[in-house]
Amino acid sequence: MNDLLDSIDITAAPPENEPMRQYYFMKKCRGYVEAESKRLGRPLYAAINTFGCQMNARDSEKLLGTLEQIGFVGTEGEDADFVLYNTCTVRENANQRVYGRLGQLNNKKKSNPHMIIALCGCMMQEEQVVAKIRKSYRFVDIIFGTHNIFKLAELLWERLDREKMVVDIWEGTESIVEDLPTERKYAFKSGVNIMFGCNNFCSYCIVPYVRGRERSRSPEDILDEIRTLVADGVVEVMLLGQNVNSYGKTLEHPISFAELLRRVNEIPGLERIRFMTSHPKDLSDELIQVMKESDKVCRHLHLPLQSGSSRILSAMNRRYTKEQYLALADKIKTEIPDISLTTDIIVGFPGETDDDFEETMDVVRRVRYDSAFTFIYSKRTGTPAASMIDQVPEAVVKERFDRLLAEVQRISAEVSGRDIHTRQKVLVEELDDHVEGMVTGRLGNNTVVHFRGGAELIGSIVTVYLEESKGFYYMGTLAED
Ligand code: 5AD
Ligand code: SF4
């Protein structure tokens, strides 16, 4: 990487092609960081604060990769010379958190006027958000969106060059820029984008508007990236897409997600494959077979339900009924009995009656999820559901939400203890937060286990005897292979 930057002539005009154009701007910005750091007698720090989903987490690794090339030293929190919020807008409370924290950042900037504040990600794709920031948060330096995160170096240079707020939001894009630097949070596992955007337009969801149309990366690019990751010590990958089951449909040479999984499964040295998220309407028998036959694909499927009422599912534009969902869950459990199923559920979608809600409770009791993320419906401007008239009163939603959560937790505590007194393969992820001399790892089905061990185990797959179930996690002991 350094050789690449060394070979770039920054006195020449910037290259037209990506990613070379960004490497050129990385080198330009590097001059600024070096000079500032000399002046201050310390390194310049950069902190990325990530909101939202795994896609954003992966984007943040790319953003940090660029910042480190520029010469910043990565740090956590907000005491830094460059602070970036990678935002989420899937629910309104995510937006509120960003505004709240921006207020506090303003105070920090007053005591460190050289601080550069940047905002990117889904929330920035909304016009009214950018208008509000331009008006009321004028201390922000750079705003960009989801389609041009690869452009960070160029935008930073622009900001340094002209000392004015830089705003660059794209409405969409056809292209996918490959081969930018990344800085992984974990040495041994990594997210891998396989597609971007979403074409489903569930009526409550803002994602298709802020992440754009579905675009798949070529299988060759994906496989190359995973091989490089494995050579660099990665043993587990999480294939990421808003709806992985429709992967590959728009490629010049279409391939199915199941076929992609088969090819990923063949990569030597790779131990575990996860993926997220599956839309129930597109989950194929072929995929179930690949999961069943593969020794690397983890026995975990996140299958968002959203609602158990066919009437509400139709209003949500989910394109499956309660019965179809239940039949699918049954089929998966029959084919892969040790699978762990998790889900997302929205409570209080417009028009949801007590009866509709009871249908959701019914599915929860029948499927018996290992865990479920439960959300209160949040009205997103510009989505079809936002203009539906019969929004459910807050108190009713709250009561339903609490009941659902209690049921989900009760079932989850029963279900997730089912592997008690067995030996399981565990990927050791980190030192235990609470108890010295302990480590934390995950089973293939994603359940957490704590057991005695040291830092030398991190990143390896070991066999652990599951001694005690604590409801959502196990206590175990290291066992012989
Ligand atoms: N309100 C509440 N939850 C939502 N989700 C998406 N949009 C909304 C919304 N407007 C939830 C869905 C999705 C998860 C990522 O977020 O359950 O699966
Ligand atoms: Fe949103 Fe539906 Fe697309 Fe998921 S599949 S990102 S819920 S529109």
Q: How does DSSP assign 456-469, residue by residue?
A: GGTT-EEEEEEEEE
Tell me how long the chain is.
481
CB 191 within 8 A of CB 60: no
Give the nearest ligand 2 atom to 306 CA.
Answer: 7
On the question of pLDDT at 481 being above 90, the answer is no
Ligand 1, CB within 6 Å, residue ranges? 90-91, 204-205, 304, 306, 344, 346, 375, 377-378, 380
On the question of pLDDT at 317 being above 70, the answer is yes
Give the nearest ligand 2 atom to 90 CA.
Answer: 1
Distance CA 137, CA 160 (A): 19
On the question of pLDDT at 12 being above 80, the answer is yes
Ligand 2 near 202 CB (within 6 A): yes
Give the closest residue (by CA) to ligand 2 atom 1: 205
On the question of pLDDT at 416 being above 90, the answer is no
Upper half-sphere CA count for residue 378 (Cβ side, 13 Å): 14
Residue 108 DSSP code = H
Ligand 2 near 243 CB (within 6 A): yes
Ligand closest to CA 279: 2
Average pLDDT of the residues in 141-156 = 97
On the question of pLDDT at 364 being above 70, the answer is yes
pLDDT, tens digit, 9 for 90 and up, residues 239-293: 999 999 999 998 999 999 999 999 999 999 999 999 999 999 999 999 999 999 9
Backbone angles phi, psi at 181, to 5 degrees: -65, 150
Distance CA 132, CA 122 (A): 15
Ligand closest to CA 391: 1
Output the CA–CA distances (angstroms, integers) from residue 131 to 74, 126, 127, 128, 167, in the order listed. Answer: 30, 9, 6, 5, 11
Confidence of residue 1 (pLDDT cuts 50, 70, 90): low
On the question of pLDDT at 2 being above 80, the answer is no
On the question of pLDDT at 472 being above 90, the answer is no
pLDDT, tens digit, 9 for 90 and up, residues 96-137: 999 999 999 999 999 888 999 999 999 999 999 999 999 999
Average pLDDT of the residues in 137-158 = 97
Average pLDDT of the residues in 457-462 = 96
Global confidence as pTM: 0.94
Ligand 2 near 307 CB (within 6 A): no
Q: What's the CA-to-centroid distance between 290 and ligand 2, angstroms? A: 24
Average pLDDT of the residues in 385-393 = 93
pLDDT, tens digit, 9 for 90 and up, residues 41-91: 999 999 999 999 999 999 999 999 999 999 999 999 899 999 999 999 999
Q: Which residues of 376-410 are buried (b: 16+ CB within 10 A; e: fewer)?
A: bbbebeebbbeeeeebbeeeebeebbeebeebbee
Confidence of residue 175 (pLDDT cuts 50, 70, 90): confident
Ligand 2 near 384 CB (within 6 A): no
CB 246 within 8 A of CB 258: no
| pLDDT value, residue 173 | 87
Confidence of residue 176 (pLDDT cuts 50, 70, 90): confident
Q: No. of H helices and E strands in the chain?
A: 14, 19
> Per mean pLDDT, which of 105-109, 311-315, 390-394 is the most reliable?
311-315
Mean pLDDT taken over the chain? 95
Looking at the chain, the whole-number percentage of residues with pLDDT higher than 70 is: 100
